[in-house]
Structure 1
Amino acid sequence: MSAATVLSVAHARKAFGGLIAVNDVSFDVGAGELIGLIGPNGSGKTTMLNLISGALRPTSGEIRLAGTRISGLAPEKVARIGIARTFQLVRVLPSMTAIENVMAGAVFARNRLWGPPARDFAGGLLARVGLTGRESSPVADMTYIDQKRVELARALAADPRLLLLDEWLAGLNPSELLIGIDLIRDISREGRTIIMVEHVMDAIRTLCSRCVVMNSGVKIADGPAASVLADPDVIRAYLGDDDA
Protein backbone atom coordinates (compact mmCIF):
# COMPACT_ATOMS: atom_id res chain seq x y z
CA MET A 1 0.00 0.00 0.00
CA SER A 2 1.49 3.35 -1.08
CA ALA A 3 1.46 6.56 0.94
CA ALA A 4 -1.25 7.90 -1.42
CA THR A 5 -3.56 4.94 -0.82
CA VAL A 6 -6.67 5.94 1.11
CA LEU A 7 -8.39 2.54 1.20
CA SER A 8 -6.91 -0.94 0.95
CA VAL A 9 -9.16 -4.00 0.73
CA ALA A 10 -7.19 -7.25 0.98
CA HIS A 11 -8.83 -10.65 0.38
CA ALA A 12 -12.16 -9.55 1.87
CA ARG A 13 -14.67 -12.34 2.32
CA LYS A 14 -18.18 -12.29 3.76
CA ALA A 15 -20.24 -15.44 4.23
CA PHE A 16 -23.82 -15.66 5.45
CA GLY A 17 -24.01 -19.30 6.36
CA GLY A 18 -23.52 -21.17 3.09
CA LEU A 19 -23.91 -18.02 0.98
CA ILE A 20 -20.67 -16.24 0.12
CA ALA A 21 -21.61 -12.65 -0.72
CA VAL A 22 -18.04 -11.36 -1.09
CA ASN A 23 -15.33 -13.82 -2.03
CA ASP A 24 -11.63 -12.92 -1.75
CA VAL A 25 -11.95 -9.37 -3.13
CA SER A 26 -8.93 -7.04 -3.13
CA PHE A 27 -8.50 -3.50 -4.44
CA ASP A 28 -6.94 -0.17 -3.43
CA VAL A 29 -8.32 3.34 -3.76
CA GLY A 30 -5.92 6.24 -4.19
CA ALA A 31 -6.34 9.72 -2.77
CA GLY A 32 -8.73 11.78 -4.88
CA GLU A 33 -9.97 8.87 -6.99
CA LEU A 34 -13.61 8.53 -8.00
CA ILE A 35 -14.15 4.81 -8.50
CA GLY A 36 -17.24 3.06 -9.79
CA LEU A 37 -18.04 -0.18 -7.97
CA ILE A 38 -20.37 -1.87 -10.41
CA GLY A 39 -21.92 -5.20 -11.26
CA PRO A 40 -25.32 -6.84 -11.75
CA ASN A 41 -27.87 -7.09 -8.96
CA GLY A 42 -26.75 -9.50 -6.25
CA SER A 43 -23.07 -9.22 -7.16
CA GLY A 44 -22.00 -8.13 -3.65
CA LYS A 45 -21.50 -4.40 -4.17
CA THR A 46 -23.57 -3.17 -1.22
CA THR A 47 -22.16 -5.93 0.97
CA MET A 48 -18.71 -4.60 0.11
CA LEU A 49 -19.76 -1.07 1.11
CA ASN A 50 -21.16 -2.49 4.34
CA LEU A 51 -17.81 -4.16 5.06
CA ILE A 52 -15.93 -0.93 4.40
CA SER A 53 -18.28 1.19 6.53
CA GLY A 54 -18.38 -1.27 9.44
CA ALA A 55 -22.03 -2.22 9.06
CA LEU A 56 -20.81 -5.79 8.55
CA ARG A 57 -17.72 -7.57 9.83
CA PRO A 58 -15.73 -9.52 7.24
CA THR A 59 -15.53 -13.28 7.68
CA SER A 60 -11.89 -12.97 6.70
CA GLY A 61 -9.54 -10.51 5.05
CA GLU A 62 -8.48 -7.01 6.01
CA ILE A 63 -9.60 -3.45 5.25
CA ARG A 64 -7.43 -0.42 6.03
CA LEU A 65 -8.17 3.30 5.83
CA ALA A 66 -5.07 5.45 5.43
CA GLY A 67 -3.05 2.61 6.94
CA THR A 68 -5.30 2.03 9.95
CA ARG A 69 -7.06 -1.33 10.13
CA ILE A 70 -10.83 -0.75 10.25
CA SER A 71 -12.16 -4.23 9.45
CA GLY A 72 -14.10 -5.47 12.45
CA LEU A 73 -14.61 -2.03 14.00
CA ALA A 74 -18.09 -0.78 14.87
CA PRO A 75 -19.58 1.59 12.27
CA GLU A 76 -19.46 4.62 14.59
CA LYS A 77 -15.73 4.06 15.08
CA VAL A 78 -15.19 3.68 11.34
CA ALA A 79 -17.10 6.94 10.81
CA ARG A 80 -14.90 8.79 13.29
CA ILE A 81 -11.76 7.48 11.59
CA GLY A 82 -13.02 8.96 8.34
CA ILE A 83 -15.66 7.11 6.29
CA ALA A 84 -19.12 8.49 5.52
CA ARG A 85 -21.82 7.05 3.30
CA THR A 86 -25.23 7.38 1.75
CA PHE A 87 -27.68 4.50 1.32
CA GLN A 88 -29.73 2.87 -1.45
CA LEU A 89 -32.88 3.92 0.39
CA VAL A 90 -32.52 7.43 1.79
CA ARG A 91 -31.95 7.46 5.55
CA VAL A 92 -32.74 10.83 7.06
CA LEU A 93 -33.91 11.84 10.52
CA PRO A 94 -37.54 12.59 9.62
CA SER A 95 -38.47 14.42 12.82
CA MET A 96 -35.71 17.00 12.28
CA THR A 97 -35.16 19.88 9.88
CA ALA A 98 -32.66 19.83 7.05
CA ILE A 99 -30.03 21.76 8.97
CA GLU A 100 -30.48 19.60 12.08
CA ASN A 101 -29.88 16.48 9.95
CA VAL A 102 -26.64 17.90 8.61
CA MET A 103 -25.55 19.13 12.04
CA ALA A 104 -25.88 15.54 13.26
CA GLY A 105 -23.19 14.59 10.75
CA ALA A 106 -20.90 17.33 12.05
CA VAL A 107 -21.46 16.48 15.71
CA PHE A 108 -20.48 12.84 15.29
CA ALA A 109 -17.67 13.40 12.77
CA ARG A 110 -13.94 12.90 13.29
CA ASN A 111 -13.59 16.70 13.68
CA ARG A 112 -16.58 17.30 15.93
CA LEU A 113 -18.43 20.60 15.77
CA TRP A 114 -21.06 21.84 18.21
CA GLY A 115 -23.46 24.75 18.56
CA PRO A 116 -23.18 27.80 16.26
CA PRO A 117 -20.06 26.54 14.42
CA ALA A 118 -21.89 23.30 13.56
CA ARG A 119 -24.96 25.25 12.40
CA ASP A 120 -22.89 27.57 10.20
CA PHE A 121 -21.00 24.63 8.73
CA ALA A 122 -24.22 22.71 8.05
CA GLY A 123 -25.80 25.74 6.41
CA GLY A 124 -22.86 26.03 4.06
CA LEU A 125 -23.13 22.38 3.08
CA LEU A 126 -26.86 22.69 2.40
CA ALA A 127 -26.05 25.57 0.07
CA ARG A 128 -23.33 23.40 -1.48
CA VAL A 129 -25.88 20.72 -2.46
CA GLY A 130 -28.45 23.20 -3.74
CA LEU A 131 -30.71 23.70 -0.72
CA THR A 132 -30.14 27.38 0.06
CA GLY A 133 -33.11 28.72 1.98
CA ARG A 134 -34.37 25.26 2.95
CA GLU A 135 -32.46 25.00 6.22
CA SER A 136 -35.58 25.01 8.41
CA SER A 137 -37.65 22.73 6.18
CA PRO A 138 -38.83 19.50 7.84
CA VAL A 139 -37.05 16.68 6.05
CA ALA A 140 -40.21 14.54 6.10
CA ASP A 141 -41.92 17.11 3.86
CA MET A 142 -39.12 17.27 1.29
CA THR A 143 -39.10 15.67 -2.15
CA TYR A 144 -37.04 12.55 -2.77
CA ILE A 145 -34.21 14.40 -4.52
CA ASP A 146 -34.05 16.99 -1.74
CA GLN A 147 -33.90 14.27 0.92
CA LYS A 148 -31.01 12.76 -1.04
CA ARG A 149 -29.30 16.14 -1.02
CA VAL A 150 -29.72 16.39 2.76
CA GLU A 151 -28.27 12.89 3.20
CA LEU A 152 -25.30 13.81 1.00
CA ALA A 153 -24.71 17.05 2.92
CA ARG A 154 -24.83 15.09 6.19
CA ALA A 155 -22.20 12.67 4.87
CA LEU A 156 -19.99 15.58 3.79
CA ALA A 157 -20.40 17.16 7.24
CA ALA A 158 -18.26 14.32 8.58
CA ASP A 159 -15.39 15.61 6.40
CA PRO A 160 -14.63 12.01 5.43
CA ARG A 161 -11.38 10.72 4.02
CA LEU A 162 -13.57 8.39 1.94
CA LEU A 163 -17.16 8.98 0.78
CA LEU A 164 -19.30 5.96 -0.15
CA LEU A 165 -22.28 6.62 -2.44
CA ASP A 166 -24.66 3.67 -2.67
CA GLU A 167 -26.84 4.26 -5.76
CA TRP A 168 -27.20 7.94 -4.89
CA LEU A 169 -28.47 8.69 -8.41
CA ALA A 170 -31.14 5.96 -8.39
CA GLY A 171 -34.74 7.08 -8.78
CA LEU A 172 -33.96 10.51 -10.22
CA ASN A 173 -35.72 11.84 -13.30
CA PRO A 174 -33.55 12.88 -16.29
CA SER A 175 -33.18 16.53 -15.25
CA GLU A 176 -32.45 15.58 -11.64
CA LEU A 177 -29.92 13.02 -12.87
CA LEU A 178 -27.94 15.72 -14.68
CA ILE A 179 -27.96 17.87 -11.53
CA GLY A 180 -26.81 14.89 -9.47
CA ILE A 181 -23.97 14.04 -11.86
CA ASP A 182 -22.76 17.64 -11.82
CA LEU A 183 -22.87 17.70 -8.02
CA ILE A 184 -20.83 14.50 -7.66
CA ARG A 185 -18.34 15.75 -10.25
CA ASP A 186 -17.88 19.03 -8.35
CA ILE A 187 -17.37 17.20 -5.04
CA SER A 188 -14.78 14.95 -6.69
CA ARG A 189 -12.95 17.95 -8.16
CA GLU A 190 -12.59 19.35 -4.66
CA GLY A 191 -10.28 16.40 -3.94
CA ARG A 192 -12.74 14.08 -2.21
CA THR A 193 -12.04 10.34 -2.52
CA ILE A 194 -15.24 8.55 -3.58
CA ILE A 195 -16.48 5.03 -4.25
CA MET A 196 -19.85 5.02 -5.97
CA VAL A 197 -22.07 1.98 -6.47
CA GLU A 198 -24.26 2.80 -9.43
CA HIS A 199 -26.39 1.20 -12.14
CA VAL A 200 -26.68 4.37 -14.23
CA MET A 201 -23.96 3.63 -16.77
CA ASP A 202 -24.03 7.13 -18.27
CA ALA A 203 -23.04 8.43 -14.85
CA ILE A 204 -20.26 5.86 -14.51
CA ARG A 205 -18.88 6.77 -17.95
CA THR A 206 -19.10 10.48 -17.20
CA LEU A 207 -17.72 10.49 -13.67
CA CYS A 208 -15.42 7.53 -13.08
CA SER A 209 -11.90 7.17 -14.39
CA ARG A 210 -11.73 3.63 -13.01
CA CYS A 211 -14.17 0.81 -12.28
CA VAL A 212 -14.08 -2.25 -10.07
CA VAL A 213 -16.57 -4.86 -11.27
CA MET A 214 -18.08 -7.60 -9.13
CA ASN A 215 -20.17 -10.60 -10.11
CA SER A 216 -21.45 -13.31 -7.78
CA GLY A 217 -19.24 -11.95 -5.00
CA VAL A 218 -16.02 -12.07 -7.03
CA LYS A 219 -14.04 -9.20 -8.57
CA ILE A 220 -13.99 -9.82 -12.32
CA ALA A 221 -12.41 -6.58 -13.57
CA ASP A 222 -10.51 -3.53 -12.30
CA GLY A 223 -9.18 -0.80 -14.54
CA PRO A 224 -9.92 2.30 -16.63
CA ALA A 225 -13.67 2.76 -17.01
CA ALA A 226 -13.72 2.76 -20.81
CA SER A 227 -11.81 -0.50 -21.16
CA VAL A 228 -13.62 -2.22 -18.28
CA LEU A 229 -17.06 -1.38 -19.69
CA ALA A 230 -15.99 -2.85 -23.04
CA ASP A 231 -14.63 -6.05 -21.45
CA PRO A 232 -16.54 -9.11 -22.78
CA ASP A 233 -16.60 -10.68 -19.30
CA VAL A 234 -18.23 -7.54 -17.88
CA ILE A 235 -20.76 -7.37 -20.71
CA ARG A 236 -21.53 -11.06 -20.21
CA ALA A 237 -22.04 -10.53 -16.46
CA TYR A 238 -24.65 -7.87 -17.15
CA LEU A 239 -26.37 -9.37 -20.19
CA GLY A 240 -25.81 -13.11 -19.90
CA ASP A 241 -24.14 -15.46 -22.37
CA ASP A 242 -26.96 -15.33 -24.94
CA ASP A 243 -26.73 -11.55 -25.36
CA ALA A 244 -23.00 -10.93 -24.80
Structure 2
Amino acid sequence: MNSAPLLSVEKVRKAFGGLVAVNDVDFTVKQSELIGLIGPNGSGKTTMMNLISGALKPTSGTVRLAGEVISDMPAHRIAQRGVARTFQLVRILPSLSAIENVIAGAVFGHVRAWGDDAYREAEVLLERVGLGGRGNVPTGSMTYIDQKRLELARALASNPRLLLLDEWLAGLNPSELKIGIELIRDLREDGRTIIMVEHVMDAIRSLCDRCVVMSSGVKIADGSVHDVLSQPEVVSAYLGTEDA
Protein backbone atom coordinates (compact mmCIF):
# COMPACT_ATOMS: atom_id res chain seq x y z
CA MET A 1 0.00 0.00 0.00
CA ASN A 2 1.30 3.46 -0.95
CA SER A 3 2.15 5.37 2.23
CA ALA A 4 2.60 8.72 0.46
CA PRO A 5 -0.10 11.26 1.33
CA LEU A 6 -2.82 12.01 -1.17
CA LEU A 7 -2.74 15.71 -0.23
CA SER A 8 0.18 17.74 1.07
CA VAL A 9 -0.19 21.34 2.24
CA GLU A 10 3.30 22.77 2.61
CA LYS A 11 3.97 26.12 4.31
CA VAL A 12 0.90 27.63 2.68
CA ARG A 13 0.26 31.30 3.27
CA LYS A 14 -2.51 33.58 1.99
CA ALA A 15 -2.36 37.31 2.56
CA PHE A 16 -4.98 39.86 1.60
CA GLY A 17 -2.95 43.05 1.77
CA GLY A 18 -1.84 43.32 5.39
CA LEU A 19 -4.20 40.57 6.60
CA VAL A 20 -2.67 37.10 6.73
CA ALA A 21 -5.64 34.72 6.59
CA VAL A 22 -3.54 31.53 6.40
CA ASN A 23 -0.08 31.66 7.93
CA ASP A 24 2.45 29.02 6.82
CA VAL A 25 0.16 26.04 7.43
CA ASP A 26 1.36 22.45 6.94
CA PHE A 27 -0.65 19.23 7.01
CA THR A 28 -1.13 16.04 5.02
CA VAL A 29 -4.09 13.80 4.26
CA LYS A 30 -3.72 10.10 3.56
CA GLN A 31 -5.75 8.11 1.07
CA SER A 32 -9.20 7.18 2.53
CA GLU A 33 -8.68 9.44 5.57
CA LEU A 34 -11.44 11.71 6.86
CA ILE A 35 -9.97 14.88 8.32
CA GLY A 36 -11.84 17.49 10.33
CA LEU A 37 -10.57 21.01 9.65
CA ILE A 38 -11.88 22.92 12.64
CA GLY A 39 -11.47 26.18 14.51
CA PRO A 40 -13.42 29.26 15.56
CA ASN A 41 -15.03 31.60 13.05
CA GLY A 42 -12.44 33.63 11.15
CA SER A 43 -9.66 31.11 11.73
CA GLY A 44 -8.91 30.59 8.02
CA LYS A 45 -10.66 27.26 7.40
CA THR A 46 -12.68 28.25 4.34
CA THR A 47 -9.70 30.16 2.95
CA MET A 48 -7.72 26.93 3.23
CA MET A 49 -10.45 25.03 1.37
CA ASN A 50 -10.35 27.72 -1.32
CA LEU A 51 -6.58 27.33 -1.61
CA ILE A 52 -6.82 23.56 -2.00
CA SER A 53 -9.60 23.76 -4.60
CA GLY A 54 -8.02 26.59 -6.59
CA ALA A 55 -10.62 29.26 -5.86
CA LEU A 56 -7.70 31.20 -4.39
CA LYS A 57 -3.97 31.07 -5.11
CA PRO A 58 -1.52 30.95 -2.20
CA THR A 59 0.73 33.93 -1.60
CA SER A 60 3.45 31.37 -0.89
CA GLY A 61 3.77 27.66 -0.21
CA THR A 62 2.64 24.61 -2.16
CA VAL A 63 -0.33 22.27 -2.36
CA ARG A 64 0.28 18.83 -3.86
CA LEU A 65 -2.21 16.15 -4.89
CA ALA A 66 -0.63 12.68 -5.14
CA GLY A 67 2.75 14.40 -5.43
CA GLU A 68 1.72 16.77 -8.23
CA VAL A 69 1.79 20.51 -7.55
CA ILE A 70 -1.75 21.84 -8.00
CA SER A 71 -1.46 25.21 -6.25
CA ASP A 72 -0.42 26.88 -9.51
CA MET A 73 -3.39 25.46 -11.46
CA PRO A 74 -6.76 27.12 -12.15
CA ALA A 75 -9.75 25.68 -10.29
CA HIS A 76 -11.12 23.74 -13.27
CA ARG A 77 -7.80 21.94 -13.76
CA ILE A 78 -7.70 21.02 -10.07
CA ALA A 79 -11.24 19.66 -10.40
CA GLN A 80 -10.12 17.57 -13.35
CA ARG A 81 -7.24 16.23 -11.22
CA GLY A 82 -9.82 14.94 -8.74
CA VAL A 83 -10.72 17.61 -6.16
CA ALA A 84 -14.45 18.28 -5.71
CA ARG A 85 -16.16 20.42 -3.13
CA THR A 86 -19.30 21.83 -1.62
CA PHE A 87 -19.52 25.44 -0.49
CA GLN A 88 -20.43 27.13 2.77
CA LEU A 89 -23.06 29.04 0.80
CA VAL A 90 -24.66 26.62 -1.65
CA ARG A 91 -23.71 27.04 -5.29
CA ILE A 92 -25.96 25.33 -7.78
CA LEU A 93 -26.79 25.95 -11.43
CA PRO A 94 -30.20 27.60 -11.09
CA SER A 95 -31.19 27.40 -14.76
CA LEU A 96 -30.80 23.60 -14.79
CA SER A 97 -32.91 20.84 -13.27
CA ALA A 98 -31.63 18.75 -10.39
CA ILE A 99 -30.44 15.90 -12.60
CA GLU A 100 -28.80 18.31 -15.06
CA ASN A 101 -26.82 19.81 -12.16
CA VAL A 102 -25.48 16.37 -11.25
CA ILE A 103 -24.73 15.51 -14.88
CA ALA A 104 -22.66 18.70 -15.08
CA GLY A 105 -20.45 17.28 -12.32
CA ALA A 106 -20.05 14.05 -14.26
CA VAL A 107 -19.17 15.80 -17.52
CA PHE A 108 -16.66 18.34 -16.24
CA GLY A 109 -15.01 16.59 -13.28
CA HIS A 110 -12.32 14.00 -12.63
CA VAL A 111 -13.85 10.78 -14.03
CA ARG A 112 -16.05 11.93 -16.87
CA ALA A 113 -19.28 10.31 -18.01
CA TRP A 114 -21.46 11.21 -20.97
CA GLY A 115 -24.95 10.55 -22.32
CA ASP A 116 -26.90 7.68 -20.84
CA ASP A 117 -24.05 6.71 -18.51
CA ALA A 118 -24.02 10.19 -16.97
CA TYR A 119 -27.82 10.18 -16.64
CA ARG A 120 -27.90 6.81 -14.88
CA GLU A 121 -25.09 7.79 -12.52
CA ALA A 122 -26.89 11.04 -11.71
CA GLU A 123 -30.06 9.12 -10.84
CA VAL A 124 -28.09 6.84 -8.51
CA LEU A 125 -26.45 9.80 -6.76
CA LEU A 126 -29.71 11.70 -6.35
CA GLU A 127 -31.17 8.61 -4.70
CA ARG A 128 -28.16 8.32 -2.44
CA VAL A 129 -28.43 11.87 -1.11
CA GLY A 130 -32.17 11.60 -0.54
CA LEU A 131 -33.46 13.19 -3.74
CA GLY A 132 -34.58 10.05 -5.55
CA GLY A 133 -37.31 10.66 -8.10
CA ARG A 134 -36.76 14.42 -8.07
CA GLY A 135 -34.39 14.74 -10.99
CA ASN A 136 -36.69 16.95 -13.04
CA VAL A 137 -37.43 19.36 -10.20
CA PRO A 138 -36.27 22.94 -10.93
CA THR A 139 -33.49 23.79 -8.49
CA GLY A 140 -35.08 27.16 -7.74
CA SER A 141 -38.07 25.44 -6.14
CA MET A 142 -35.93 23.29 -3.83
CA THR A 143 -35.50 23.99 -0.15
CA TYR A 144 -32.07 25.07 1.07
CA ILE A 145 -31.44 21.64 2.57
CA ASP A 146 -32.30 19.89 -0.69
CA GLN A 147 -30.02 22.27 -2.58
CA LYS A 148 -27.19 21.22 -0.25
CA ARG A 149 -27.95 17.57 -1.00
CA LEU A 150 -27.93 18.38 -4.71
CA GLU A 151 -24.57 20.12 -4.44
CA LEU A 152 -23.12 17.05 -2.73
CA ALA A 153 -24.47 14.76 -5.47
CA ARG A 154 -22.88 17.00 -8.10
CA ALA A 155 -19.53 16.90 -6.26
CA LEU A 156 -19.69 13.09 -6.13
CA ALA A 157 -20.59 12.77 -9.81
CA SER A 158 -16.97 13.08 -10.92
CA ASN A 159 -15.85 10.31 -8.54
CA PRO A 160 -13.32 12.67 -6.90
CA ARG A 161 -10.08 11.58 -5.30
CA LEU A 162 -10.53 14.26 -2.61
CA LEU A 163 -13.88 15.63 -1.42
CA LEU A 164 -14.01 18.96 0.42
CA LEU A 165 -17.11 19.56 2.56
CA ASP A 166 -17.38 23.14 3.80
CA GLU A 167 -19.93 23.14 6.66
CA TRP A 168 -22.19 20.78 4.75
CA LEU A 169 -24.09 19.90 7.93
CA ALA A 170 -24.78 23.52 8.88
CA GLY A 171 -28.45 24.47 9.09
CA LEU A 172 -29.81 20.93 9.35
CA ASN A 173 -32.45 20.12 11.94
CA PRO A 174 -31.75 17.19 14.32
CA SER A 175 -33.33 14.51 12.11
CA GLU A 176 -31.64 15.87 8.97
CA LEU A 177 -28.35 16.08 10.86
CA LYS A 178 -28.56 12.40 11.76
CA ILE A 179 -29.20 11.51 8.11
CA GLY A 180 -26.36 13.78 7.00
CA ILE A 181 -23.86 12.21 9.40
CA GLU A 182 -24.84 8.72 8.20
CA LEU A 183 -24.40 9.80 4.58
CA ILE A 184 -20.89 11.09 5.25
CA ARG A 185 -20.13 7.88 7.17
CA ASP A 186 -21.23 5.86 4.13
CA LEU A 187 -18.90 7.92 1.92
CA ARG A 188 -16.04 7.23 4.32
CA GLU A 189 -16.80 3.51 4.25
CA ASP A 190 -16.64 3.71 0.45
CA GLY A 191 -13.00 4.72 0.89
CA ARG A 192 -13.50 8.39 0.06
CA THR A 193 -10.82 10.83 1.15
CA ILE A 194 -12.58 13.77 2.78
CA ILE A 195 -11.70 17.06 4.45
CA MET A 196 -14.67 18.52 6.30
CA VAL A 197 -14.89 21.99 7.81
CA GLU A 198 -17.49 21.65 10.50
CA HIS A 199 -18.74 23.20 13.74
CA VAL A 200 -20.96 20.24 14.65
CA MET A 201 -18.74 18.54 17.20
CA ASP A 202 -20.87 15.38 17.34
CA ALA A 203 -20.08 14.90 13.65
CA ILE A 204 -16.38 15.57 14.18
CA ARG A 205 -16.18 13.09 17.07
CA SER A 206 -18.13 10.34 15.32
CA LEU A 207 -16.72 10.65 11.80
CA CYS A 208 -13.17 11.97 11.74
CA ASP A 209 -9.93 10.02 11.86
CA ARG A 210 -7.96 13.14 12.69
CA CYS A 211 -8.41 16.87 13.28
CA VAL A 212 -6.41 19.85 12.10
CA VAL A 213 -7.21 22.92 14.19
CA MET A 214 -6.70 26.49 12.99
CA SER A 215 -6.88 29.72 14.94
CA SER A 216 -6.19 33.20 13.52
CA GLY A 217 -4.75 31.62 10.37
CA VAL A 218 -2.28 29.38 12.21
CA LYS A 219 -2.39 25.61 12.72
CA ILE A 220 -2.47 25.07 16.47
CA ALA A 221 -3.09 21.31 16.65
CA ASP A 222 -3.05 18.19 14.49
CA GLY A 223 -3.84 14.73 15.80
CA SER A 224 -6.53 12.31 16.93
CA VAL A 225 -9.92 13.83 17.66
CA HIS A 226 -9.81 13.02 21.38
CA ASP A 227 -6.29 14.34 21.87
CA VAL A 228 -6.86 17.51 19.87
CA LEU A 229 -10.15 18.48 21.50
CA SER A 230 -8.66 18.06 24.97
CA GLN A 231 -5.69 20.38 24.35
CA PRO A 232 -5.91 23.60 26.39
CA GLU A 233 -4.90 25.75 23.41
CA VAL A 234 -7.78 24.33 21.35
CA VAL A 235 -10.28 24.77 24.19
CA SER A 236 -9.06 28.35 24.64
CA ALA A 237 -9.41 29.08 20.91
CA TYR A 238 -13.04 27.97 20.95
CA LEU A 239 -14.14 29.22 24.34
CA GLY A 240 -11.71 32.02 25.10
CA THR A 241 -9.88 32.55 28.36
CA GLU A 242 -11.22 33.88 31.63
CA ASP A 243 -9.59 37.22 30.79
CA ALA A 244 -11.15 37.41 27.33
What TM-score do the two structures reach when normalised by structure 2? 0.97
Aligned position for 1:168: 168
Q: Tell me, yes or no, if the aligned pair for 2:111 and 2:160 is still in contact at 8 Å.
A: no
Within a 5 Å distance, the mapping from 1:49-68 to structure 2 comes to: 49-68=49-68
1:133-212 mapped onto 2 (5 Å cutoff): 133-212=133-212
Cα deviation per residue 1:31-63 (whole Å; 9 max; x = unaligned)?
A: 000000000000000000000000000010010
- State whether residues 96 and 138 of structure 1, in contact with CA within 8 Å, keep that contact through their aligned partners in structure 2: yes
Whether contact under 8 Å (1:62, 1:69) holds in the other structure is yes
Partner in structure 2 of residue 40 of structure 1: 40
The answer for the alignment partner of 1:128 in structure 2 is 128
Residues 191 and 202 (structure 1 numbering): CA distance in 2 closer, same or farther, change over 3 Å?
same
Cα deviations by residue, 1:151-193 (Å, 9 ceiling, x for unpaired): 0000001111100000000011111110100000101110000
Question: What SS does structure 2 have at the residue aligned with 1:37?
Answer: strand
Deviation at 1:4, TM superposition (A): 3.8
Amino acid at match of 1:24: D
Confirm or deny: 8 A CA contact 1:228 1:234 kept in the other structure. Answer: yes
1:109 Cα offset (Å): 1.2
Q: Percent identity?
A: 69
Q: Is the 8 A contact 1:51 1:57 kept in 2?
A: yes
Deviation at 1:114, TM superposition (A): 1.5
What root-mean-square deviation, in Å, do the aligned CA atoms of Structure 1 and Structure 2 show? 1.2
Structure 1 CA distance, aligned partners of 2:172 and 2:166?
14
Question: 1:236·1:243 contact (CA, 8 Å) conserved in 2?
Answer: no
Q: Secondary structure at the match of 2:76?
A: helix
Post-superposition, which runs of at least 4 consecutive aligned residues in structure 1 deviate over 4 A?
none
* d(CA) in 1 for partners of 2:223, 2:169: 22
1: CA distance, partners of 2:209 / 2:59:
30
Cα distance in 2 for partners of 1:41, 1:151 equals 23
Match of 1:101 in 2: 101
Question: Which consecutive residues of structure 2, in runs of 5 or more, have no partner in the other structure?
Answer: none
Q: What is the CA distance between 1:111 and its match in structure 2?
A: 2.1
**Residue 120 to residue 234, structure 1, CA distance change in 2 (3 Å):** same
**Deviation of 1:196 (Å):** 0.1
Give the secondary-structure state (helix, strand or coil) at the position aligned to 2:6: strand
Are residue 92 (structure 1) and residue 92 (structure 2) matched? Answer: yes
Match of 2:9 in 1: 9
Distance 1:68 1:181 in 2: 31
Matches of 1:110 and 1:182, distance apart in 2: 25
Q: Distance in 2 between matches of 1:87 and 1:110?
A: 18
Deviation, structure 1 residue 97 = 1.0
